[in-house]
Structure 1
Amino acid sequence: MVRELVPGAFSHRVAPLLPPPRPNKKLGHPRADDEAEQEAIVLGLRSGFSWEMLPCKQFGLSGMMAWRRLEEWKRTGV
């Protein structure tokens, strides 16, 4: 059995604290959902590996995007 990195109940409790997504003015990849971002950030923080080594296909976002989202959440006080 695979253990979830971020349980669903936790994701739902944190969701109201997250900043709303900014409108995407550029073309490119669509924004990953908040649950995928949370899991990627938790994996990066728990494992201690370099953000560039995050498996993009598993989470739907790059390691640098996960790091940027973490920084955005820190700036907004999450």
Structure 2
Amino acid sequence: MIARRGQPHGSGLGRVRWVVERTISWLHGFRRLRIRWERRDDIHEAFLGIAVCLITHRHVKRLC
């Protein structure tokens, strides 16, 4: 289990929530990226770019 923010974890694992793990979990929220249906890399990369733009927009909107 990952420790809650500001709380120590007994085994020492999961003490820090890494930005990469959080971002990957956000990307898995997009169905087209969770299971890769496209055979072409450029199409998959385009959907990845759109997802990153949407995540960034949501994050900035939340901060304002």
TM-score, length of structure 2 as denominator length? 0.29
